Amino acid sequence: MGVEWRTGETVLDLYRVNDVIESGGMGTVYHVSHLGWDIDLAIKVAKEVTPQRVDLFAREAETWVRLGLHPHTVSCAYVRRYEDAPLVFAEWVAGGTLEQAITKRRLYRGDDRDVLRRLLGVVVQFAWGLRHAHDSGLIHQDLKPSNVLLTEEPDSTVKITDFGLARARAVAAGAAPARPGSTLAVTGAGLFTPAYRSPEQGQGAATLTKATDIWSWAITVFEIFAGTTPLQAGENAHTFFAAWLVDDQRDTSIPAMPARLAALLRRCFETDPRRRTVRMDEAISELLAIYRAEIGSPYDREEPSAAALRADQNNNRALSLLDLGRPDDARHAWEEALAAEPYHRHSVYNLGLHRWRRGEMTSTRLDADLRAAASARDEDPEVDHLRAMVLLEGGHPAAAAQLLTGIAPTATAVTPDGRVIIALGNGSAQVRLVASGELLSSWAGADGFVAVSADGSTAACGTHGAVVAVHDATTGAQRARITLPAEPSALALDPTGAVLVAACVDSSVTTWLVSTGVRRHTLQPGIRFPRDTVGRLRFTPDGSAITWLDLLLLRLRTWDAQSGFLLDSVPYGRGTDLDPSARHSFTGTRHDPGLPSAVALSYELTDDELTDDEPPGMGLSRPLPPAAGDDPDVEAVSIDETYAVLNHDEIWDLTSGRMLRRRGSIEDSDPITDTGAGGVTTAPGGKTRAFLEFNGAGPRMSWSYARPLGAETISAAFTAVRRALDTTDPATGAAAAAALRKARDLPGHRRDPALLDLWARVGRQGRPSTLLDAWPIQEIPVPGDRRSAAITPDGRHIVLQADSEIQIRGARSGDPHLTLADQVTAMALAATGRLLTADPGHGLRLWDLAGPDNPRTLARPSGTISSIRVSGDGSLAVTRDPAGSFRLWDLAAARRIPNPPGAPGQADSVRLGPTGELLFVTDLRRQLSLWQVHDGRQRRGPHGPLISDPLGVSGDGRTALLREWGDRVVWTFDVERGEPVHRLAGHAGPVRHGLFTDDGRTAVTAGEDGTIRVWDVTSGAGRHTLPGHRGRISGMNLAGVGSLIAVRGGRFLISAGHDHVVRVWDLDTGTAAGVLGPGDEATGSDDGRFVLVRDAAVARLWELDWDIDFPERPLR
Amino acid sequence: MTVLGCNGKNGACTRLISVSTVPGGNRLARDNPEDWSRTHTYCPGCGRTYCDRCTAGLGPSRRCHECGDTVTDPDTDRRTRLTPAMAAHHRGLRMFQDGRWEQALAAFDEAVGLPGAPAGSHFTRGLLLFRLGRHDEALSSFTTTARIDPGHADAHHYTGVIHLRGGRATLAATAFDRALGHDPAHLYAAAMRMEALTRAGRPRDCVRIGERTLAAAKNPDFTALASVYALLGDALQHLHRDEEALAMLDIASGIGEDDPAVHRVRAAVLRRLHRDEEAALAARLAAAIGDRP
């Protein structure tokens, strides 16, 4: 095995070794500190695992990760492979082993009563830990005092460690695999500790059960009270225990074992495992009773609950599984993580990276998902780091540097491992760690070109003219100033930063010793004629050679770095020099191996001449990536077989077996190159070929591990959350909110779906006071030219209209419930979760989206219904045909009710008031009249300059918003008195939308001038003008979907504008509260928890997380 | 009615240009503004014409897309109106740039047959004839060019090239010397002359010409520059000035395309300098380059 670390060393770029502990059973245990997370971990390296059996070991060890979290088991964070060694990363427990506590007598300090309390406490905790393992289906097989750890005093929590490792070591050492149906494999001789083995282990039984652990547990308890290792061979424990109980010579400084405990152990020492029926549940009850009887009080520790793996733990587990070559299991673990916490940033990144590399998604999509993960938290630097890593791997170092530094860089350099990035901009240089974004150093006076050594220790950058400054990248200290023969046009440093090579505009290529600033070799002499030299310099990874790609001459030259001798000089491809006679051979290429740089790939645009019997890969010497599918279509391969176009439009990096991007993604704003290039040429013979220029692959970026939390923390959080869910009464309002806030602040539970559901119920007692967060949870395609999307007011369903087809889907699941392909001419959603549709074949139908009896037919087909409107309370509907005739419907009774007798027979538009009491009719002359539905009486309506269809009616039906001729001025209109009240003037263009907040005190209008105006209804005074949207605010559509949504409680508003942005506004302060990404139109659930945004051909459901306050005045 | 085609949008513009002298303009053009432009610009450099919309598309600098010259508005600058000979010359240039050799030659034939044909028309005609392998006619054109414009160094150079191909070394040398006399920085002429001098065993003269040309050169063509350095290096090694020769050869190999001869000479010089390992690498490289298709 190649793992031999020393104390003080930094390993795997991330861990500082604090101590090296030789463990008898396992091998070597390294006590390390994670440099990023500031926590300690134990890295366990098995000593007896042969390289051929690493996978077997790791697979078994991984069962420990799945054990989940419990305060009395040591948690395993993840398993990784390193240089053919499986590394098990586990929680570090600082207090030593139980064995040490026994032999060093720490367990026996104090008077008899104290000692007995302590010993019984250890036994109880030990039992709790073992029960958790058994409940999880895991058998330890090697229980003993040295596999029981104690945290530091005075807490001294007991934790069982090394789960699964006995079996892992056994399997890895070549023991027989588990028999079908058995729970455990044969362990193999020598892989458990003889002093603690059960009789069946001693006999080499083929199948082991939990009873084996019961035996070993009992021996360990026996040892705790004996104060010494009582046995040589564990299978004789029953005999020794019986003798010890009556032994006069036993250690009297240790309290005697209580008789009931002795009785329990006797049952555990039943030699036949089938008759050893003690279960840990039963043992724990007995132990707690013993404690109470002996100590005189109940055990003072609360019985902990096992915590389900949350998003962080599942993410880490997924990475372990991926490392172990189980991608499907890894994907499942990520899905579990995302179910526990939607848009969990580590999981979004890792799963996305995994899928991107396999060609299942584009980097553009991954970047969008990461941005969604950060949405509504204006700036999330951690997500920016992850986005930068995606950009870097995709070959966009400048874009990555911009995200990390916040400045548009003029030059960047990245270490080959993608760990360190240096960006030049605004006259200064910044050195940052990519994974964390941490600024390592910076200095001023940097300009032009930049280079970094492969080890990340040294940076070189231009200053002015021919002077290059070499800096220590970590500290920023200047190490040398070197005056080159002329202004540089490319720089590179050798892997250790000792030698600088510079290509200059005088055509010279020279090397320099950084330590002295003295020229070492002139690889190519300069001349007095400057030219715009363009090219790339690099050292080979081992530093032995220097390559200079001269892009003017299209030539790659190689020198020996040590001697400066010219080794080779070769033409560097010519992208469009296509060989017309080539039938199957891959045509020309031009790329810069190993660097994120422009690449030209020539290929056959059509492969008509290829025959079916052509083998996959067409003679490639390099295997095609398995992730590309069993039999990928090979469109083209670069001449050096670094890149290929597979499956029509996927560009793959064959060296690392990952997909870079899809050709089509150039349209998705993922530039194929930063400059963008591509073209088609026609070669003689009519064969059409194309060349494609794109950025090559960047370094393969690292996975994102979540900081593991202690089992105590997770378990306590889990317990607290369960308690909050069980005990919180939503009706208590503020008190419930306070309890839930605490629960949601517990680690891993911010987006706990159960908590969010309860939080939403509590929220109905109060009103949203702050937008805490928002994240997309569902995305559904909406095909067709004429499309709309709406969510039902209860937030349970979404209704999609694509041309004349209607689809009803579950909002959170996205599952289709109902599809109406009936040429629907009109539809409307009611607040009660019901849907009205009209189509020529079925007439007017009412659908109860949550109910079983669907649909109810209100009217048989008789002419076309062109619009449907429903009252705010969902009790009445009014339909209108293309000629303007309208009809009223009682939805509860599912029948038509008569129109008011004096109302116009035809209307330009009709709408109902919020309660269905009032009918607003705009006749064909565009005069508005108001009618009482129940008795058909006419109310006094507006006159003079006020016109037509009201923009909005307040929730109490007393006030309406009416426009003046010209549409730029809106009036509040007192419906009771039939008089205009306040003139709301200020819009610079026609007003298209208006609404009241649910308290009726605030009106909002929006117009084509791009502004939203907020008005005080009582005084008519303008309160705020909300700028931001450009152009017109999008209009209402046929389904009654609006682009202004008043969030319940009256403080917040959501708007979608023609600028394709969905915004959240705080009406109290007149400021933007957040952005819900791109979109054309939006609808929301009543409680403001869900907002459905239609973004071109996609409907995206957002979940909004509001903080709540509870005003004294109850909300209506 | 004169009708021109627009050369804008890299030749993709389909609009026609009416150059009507009728008062009020061509009616067809006036009634179809989508398809016709009634004003235009032309490029004095390459003769391309641009319709009103494509002219607007050239931006404020009004630089020709093809050759970068500033386009001229014939309607507002009558003085620059082309003579028939110049018009044919520009048409010829445009054909030449488009690779339509035969049509270009016809245009230049027309140009040189008209009064006031510029020396450039004869020279370009010579180039076309040379390209088409009609060397005798080409020689005549270059001679005519030199007669009209005795300082036309390129005409002398090509005269030398044709003489050299015809095995008339002395005449060629004279022509190259004339080219260099008029333009001491004429790298192509210098390279030809130096090559002949090397072949004639006159390395000292070769060095003299090479050094003088390099001293005079400004903004040189790097292909020719590499040749001059290579020939200078070769001449210097004949004079056993090995260190200087190696410097010249290294420059030649650095700025020019890979030439097996340069690396062969480098190998020889390095061997003489007892830098055997480098010499072996140079020889191997020369062989590798020579083996390339």
pLDDT band at B277 (very low <50, low <70, confident <90, very high): very high
**Same domain as B215, residue B156:** no
By CA distance, what is A571's nearest residue in B?
A: B258
Please, which residues have CB within 8 angstroms of residue A275's CB and are 6 or more apart in sequence? none
In A, minimum Cα distance to B251 occurs at A525
Same domain, B188 and B293: yes
List residues in chain A touching B: CB distance below 8 A: 507-509, 524-525, 527, 529, 531, 553, 555, 563, 565-571
The residues on B that touch A, with CB distances below 8 Å, are: 217, 219-220, 222, 225, 229, 247, 250-251, 253-258, 277-278, 281-282, 285, 288-289, 292
Same domain, B192 and B137: no
- Partnered with residue A939 across adjacent β-strands are A930
Find, in chain B, the residue whose alpha carbon is nearest to that of A508.
B254
| Same domain as B281, residue B220 | yes
Number of domains in chain B: 3
Residues A113 and A134 in one domain: yes
Task: Express each pLDDT in A642-661 by its tens digit.
Answer: 777 777 667 788 877 788 77
Set of chain B residues whose Cβ sits within 8 Å of the Cβ of A567: 281
Q: Smallest CA–CA separation between A526 and chain B, in Å? A: 7
Bridge-based pairing of strands A428-433 and A420-425 is antiparallel
Are A813 and A744 in a shared domain?
no
| pLDDT score recorded for residue B127 | 92
Q: Do residues A1067 and A1002 touch, judged by C-beta distance below 8 A?
A: yes
User: Is A582 inside any structural domain?
Assistant: no
Helices (H), A165-323: 165-172, 199-202, 210-226, 237-245, 259-268, 280-295, 311-323
Q: How far apart are CA A313 and CA A64, in angstroms?
A: 12
> CB burial class (10 A; 0-12, 13-18, 19+) of residue A558?
middle
SS3 call for A219: helix
Per the CB < 8 Å rule, is A525 touching B217?
A: no
Q: Which residues of B touch A509 (CB under 8 A)?
A: 254
- Contact assignment for B258 to A571 by CB distance below 8 Å: yes
Selecting from A529, A565, A569 the residue whose C-beta is nearest the C-beta of B278 gives A565
Residues in chain A, how many? Answer: 1116
Q: Is residue B88 domain-shared with residue B128, that is, in the same domain?
A: yes
- Report the residue from B217, B258, B285 with minimal CB separation from A555: B258
Mutate to test the interface with B, among A552, A568, A577, A581 (most CBs of B within 10 A): A568
A525–B278 CB contact, under 8 Å: no
Which of A249, A276, A295 is the last residue before a domain boundary? A295
Nearest to B220 among A529, A563, A567 (CB): A529
- Residues A107, A201: one domain? yes
**Beta pairing class for B16-19 and B36-37:** parallel
Same domain, A195 and A219: yes
Structure tokens at A939: 């109310």
- Taking an 8 Å cut-off on Cβ atoms, the answer to whether B251 and A507 are in contact is yes
Contacts of A571 in chain B (CB under 8 A): 258, 292
Residue A224, strand partner residues: none
Report pLDDT for A612.
43
Judge if A798 and A718 occupy the same domain: no
Q: Is the peptide bond before A855 cis (omega within 30 degrees of 0)?
A: yes
Give just the sign of the alpha carbon dihedral B133, B136, B137, B143. positive
Angle at A243 between CA A242 and CA A246, to 5 degrees: 95
Residue A725 and residue A795 in one domain: no
Q: Is the dihedral of CA A343, A344, A349, A354 positive or negative?
A: negative
Question: What is the C-alpha to C-alpha distance for residues B256 and B187, in angstroms, rounded to an integer?
Answer: 14
- Rounded-to-integer distance, Cα A536 and Cα A723, Å: 62
Q: Are residues B53 and B66 in the same domain?
A: yes
Cβ <8 Å between B285 and A531? no
In this prediction, the residues of chain A whose per-residue pLDDT falls under 70 are 1-2, 13, 23-27, 36-37, 47-53, 55-56, 59-60, 164-192, 307-309, 375-380, 572-622, 635-641, 648-649, 662-696, 852-853, 944-948, 1028-1042, 1059, 1112-1116
CA distances in angstroms from A987 to A1002, A1009, A1038, A1057, A1062, listed in the order given: 17, 7, 25, 16, 21
Question: CA of B251, closest CA in chain A: separation in Å?
Answer: 6
Which residues in chain B have Cβ-Cβ distances shorter than 8 Å to A569? 253, 258, 285, 289
Dig out the tokens for A801 from the structure.
């209209």
**What's the rounded Cα separation, in Å, for the pair A889 and A237?**
85
**What stretches of A804-842 adopt beta strand conformation (E)?**
805-810, 816-820, 826-829, 834-839
In this structure, the answer to whether residues B274 and B234 fall within a common structural domain is: yes
Q: Of A295, A327, A353, which marks where a domain is finished?
A: A295
* In a shared domain, residues A247 and A258: yes
Residues A716 and A779 in one domain: no
Q: To 10 degrees, what angle do helices B187-199 and B203-216 make? A: 170
Q: Which residues of A touch B256 (CB under 8 A)?
A: 553
pLDDT for A624 equals 80
- For residue A509, the chain B residue with the least C-alpha distance is B254
Assess whether B109 and B49 both reside in one domain: no
Domain-embedded: residue A75: yes
> Cα separation of A1106 and A1103, whole Å?
10
Whether residue A1031 is contained in a domain is answered as yes
Asked if B52 and B7 sit in the same domain, the reply is: yes
Question: Which residue shows structure tokens 């840990």?
Answer: A280
Q: Which domain holds residue A774?
A: 766-821+986-1116
Residues A412 and A401: their CA atoms lie apart, in Å, by: 7
CB-CB neighbors (< 8 A) of B292 in chain A: 571
Indicate if B112 and B94 belong to the same structural domain. Answer: yes
> Is the same domain home to A735 and A787?
no
How close, in Å, is residue B249 to chain A by CA atoms?
A: 10
Higher pLDDT, A541 or B18: A541
Q: Which runs of consecutive H residues, i.e. helices, occur in A9-97?
A: 54-66
Q: Which of B222, B258, B289 sits opposite A531 (nearest CB)?
A: B222
A631 near A720, Cβ under 8 Å?
A: no
The closest of A413, A419, A479 to A450, measured between CA atoms, is A413
Contact residues, chain B, for A563 at CB < 8 Å: 277-278
ipTM of predicted assembly, 2 dp: 0.74
B285 and A568: CB-CB below 8 Å?
yes
| C-alpha distance from A913 to closest chain B C-alpha (Å) | 54
B195 CA: distance to closest CA in chain A (Å): 22
Task: Give percent helix, percent strand, percent coil of chain B, each to the nearest 5.
Answer: 65, 5, 30
pLDDT in the model for residue A594? 38
**Residue of A508, A555, A566 with shortest CB distance to B285:** A566
Last residue within a domain, chosen from B54, B81, B108:
B81
Rounded CA-CA distance A708/A686 in Å is 61
The verdict on A795 and A756 lying in the same domain is: no
**Domain-ending residue, one of B48, B81, B114:** B81
Best of B243, B248, B253, B255 to mutate (most A CBs within 10 Å, chain A)? B255
Chain A closest CA to B95's CA: distance in Å? 22
pLDDT of B243 over the 80 cut: yes
pLDDT at B87 over 50: yes
What pLDDT sits at residue A555?
84
Q: Which of A525, A563, A566 is opposite residue B251, by nearest beta carbon?
A: A525
Structural domain total, chain A: 3
Closest-CA distance, B9 to chain A, in angstroms, reads: 17
A67 in the same domain as A18: yes
Contacts of A511 (CB under 8 A, 6+ apart): A499, A500, A501, A502, A519, A520, A521, A523, A546, A561, A564
CB contact under 8 A, A567 and B220: no
Nearest to A1054 by CA among A1019, A1086, A1016, A1015: A1086
Say if residues A604 and A655 touch (Cβ distance below 8 Å). no
Please report the pLDDT score of residue A451 as a whole number: 94
Please give the residue of chain A at the shortest CA–CA distance from B226: A527
Nearest CA in chain A to B279: A565
End-to-end CA distance of chain B: 55
- Which DSSP string do the residues of B226-277 spell out, in sequence order? HHHHHHHHHHHHHTT-HHHHHHHHHHHHHHS---HHHHHHHHHHHHHTT-HH
Q: Are A969 and A1005 in contact (CB under 8 A)?
A: no
> DSSP readout, B37-81?
ES-EEE-TTT--EEEHHHHHHTTTTTB-TTT-PBPB-TTT-GGGP
Indicate which CATH number applies to the domain containing B167.
1.25.40.10
- Chain B residue nearest residue A526, CA to CA: B251
Whether residues B275 and B250 share a domain: the answer is: yes
Residue A896 included in any domain? no
Q: Are residues A86 and A103 in the same domain?
A: yes
Alpha carbon distance A41, A32 (integer Å): 5
Contacts of B79 (CB under 8 A, 6+ apart): none
Cβ-Cβ contacts under 8 Å, A555 against chain B: 257-258
- A503 min Cα distance to partner chain B (Å): 11
Residue B22's pLDDT band (cuts 50, 70, 90): low
Owning domain of residue B94: 84-183
Chosen from A521, A532, A569 to mutate, greatest number of chain B CBs within 10 A: A569
Which residue in chain B is spatially nearest to A522 when comparing CA positions? Answer: B250
Distance in Å, alpha carbon of A550 to nearest chain B alpha carbon: 10
CB atoms A525 and B220 under 8 Å: no
The identity of residue A1028, as a single letter, is G
Q: What value does the mean pLDDT take over residues B205-210?
A: 96
Contact: B217, A529; criterion CB under 8 Å: yes
Q: What is the pLDDT of residue B246?
A: 97
Burial tier of A178 (Cβ tally within 10 Å: 0-12, 13-18, 19+): middle
CB pairs under 8 A between A and B: 47
Residues in Cβ contact with A20 at an 8 Å cutoff, skipping those fewer than 6 apart: A5, A6, A7, A28, A29, A30, A31
pLDDT digits (tens, 9 = 90+) for A236-280: 899 989 988 888 777 888 999 999 999 999 999 999 988 998 889
Contact (CB<8Å) A525/B247: yes
Q: Using an 8 Å CB-CB cutoff, list chain A residues near B229.
A: 527
B contacts of A574 (beta carbons < 8 Å): none
Last residue of a domain, one of B129, B164, B183: B183
Contacts (Cβ under 8 Å, ≥6 apart) of B181: none
**Whether residues B168 and B205 fall in one domain:** no
- Inter-chain touch A568–B288, beta carbons under 8 Å: yes
Dihedrals phi, psi of A61, to nearest 5 degrees? -60, -30
For an interface test with B, which of A532, A553, A554, A574 has the most B Cβ atoms less than 10 Å from its Cβ? A553
How far from A572 is each of A506, A554, A556, A558, CA to CA, in Å?
A: 21, 5, 6, 12
